[in-house]
Amino acid sequence: MRISVGSDHAGLELKRLLVEHLAFLGHEVVDLGTNSPDEVDYPDFGAAVGRSVASGGTDFGVCVCGTGIGMAIAANKVHGVRAAVVHDVSSARLAREHNKANVICFGARLVGTVVATDSLEMFLRSEFGGGRHLRRIEKIAALDECQP
Ligand code: RB5
């Protein structure tokens, strides 16, 4: 699969590890940065990953920041993105099965490297469950047009 990956400075080391792991698994990785420890703003990288997935340029996205939360909020602003913050293998599986998440977000300050790599593998091999979950995904899509 083709997978875009992005992080801010807080997520840089975990991103590097996940990029290596994805390549080891045989995936094509599109690394959207950051690639230096200098302080950056996570919305820039969350949006870049979101755009790459929503445009069809990549099959899935991976975001890493300190908590995963900021990157997820930013990525979810892009229409068609369903970004999920994941803390373990179970939430990774359910993010695919129930929510058809297409972007997975990690908090490098909160999860260990083994949990992150195992969760990423689970995310990539889990399938959307369809059925009642499809109706809910469609309702989420309709919210793209929601005004306050
Ligand atoms: C950076 O200090 C931190 O705020 C960022 O990595 C992330 O945790 C935001 O959600």
Residue 65 appears among annotated catalytic residues: yes
Counting atoms of ligand 1 from 1, which one is nearest the CA of 69?
10
**What pLDDT is attached to residue 145?**
84
With respect to residue 111, please indicate whether it lies within any of the assigned structural domains.
yes
Say if 36 falls within a structural domain. Answer: yes
pLDDT digits (tens, 9 = 90+) for 130-144: 999 999 999 999 998
HEC string for the chain:
CEEEEEECHHHHHHHHHHHHHHHHCCCEEEECCCCCCCCCCHHHHHHHHHHHHHCCCCCEEEEEECCCHHHHHHHCCCCCCCEEECCCHHHHHHHHHCCCCCEEEEECCCCCHHHHHHHHHHHHHCCCCCCHHHHHHHHHHHHHHCCC
Residue among 9, 27, 63, 65 flagged as catalytic: 65
pLDDT tens-place string over residues 29-68? 999 999 999 999 999 999 999 999 999 999 999 999 999 9
**Count of structural domains, the chain:** 1
Range of the domain at 121: 2-143
* pLDDT score, position 13: 98
Q: What is the pLDDT of residue 146?
A: 84
Determine, yes or no, domain membership for 130: yes
Q: Is residue 148 part of a domain?
A: no
Domain of 73, CATH number, reads 3.40.1400.10
